[in-house]
Amino acid sequence: MDGPDKWFFDKINRNLMQLHAISDVLYSGRTKFQSIEILRSPAFGKLLVLDGKIQSAEVDEFVYHEALVHPPMIAHPEPEKVFIAGGGEGATLREVLRHPSVKKAVMVDIDADVIKVCREFLPDYHAGAFDDKRARLYNTDARKWLAESKEKFDVIIIDLTEPVEEGPAYLLYTKEFYDIVRGKLTPDGLISVQSGSTSYVELVNIKAVARTLRSIFPIVRVYQADIPAFGGPWGFCVASMATDPVKLTPREIDRRIKARGLDKLRFYDGTAHRGMFTFPRHMRRALAGGGRLITDARPLYLYEG
């Protein structure tokens, strides 16, 4: 039997490549900041690809976005104001707006063209979130916007592309940026960060993000979720000055989910929460080792190490 005619090569790291069969190219272009493609995969449905890296896939995007958003949102007793850096698909905004306590969600993504393309080709991702009256959308540099804002936020979510040299995101992973974030959080506020692969052989990015967050915040927790479109387990960090999501029991997580009417979640609940923060022994040892500090003067780039 003949194989597919088209393949997409997704570089996981400098030593590992994942191939995706492609049945159709729905969109291909370049913005001022990055390349963008919308591809159709027989295995994963529609794929959003930025600068040659898969950002989300139709089949399992709910895992990524629920994992990124709901641990900090549920850990906060009543999140009213939320800031999102990146998140061009609108799916992170979608998950934030599920919470009835949210009165304002500010989303800052530098690339208006990505949002335009996603509005057209990925309507199931944003599910109308861009048009919610609680949403505020700005197309500018997220770090600059946050630094100049006088607002405080209960939850800040960093949903950015990985730090590629000359890309739009690398200065939003640094100690200096996290220091800005700390100043914009309410006393019990939390930040969550997509932090790269948690494959045992590719921990450079997440260890560096965790160490850098620990230079600013006293509470930093690393967690993961399996996302097949990304080639395996994917890591996140959540940090706070006062609120520790690991202290919440599965029963309390489920109670808060029910109280907030989040009955349509597909991935996240109390059992999933406990599992995400639980690593086997070899991973606990590997993650405990020191990553390097990311600074403006010495940023971290994908494929480093």
Does residue 159 carry a catalytic annotation? yes
Q: Which of 60, 111, 154, 159 is catalytic?
A: 159
Residues β-bridged to residue 6 = 22
Active site residues: 159
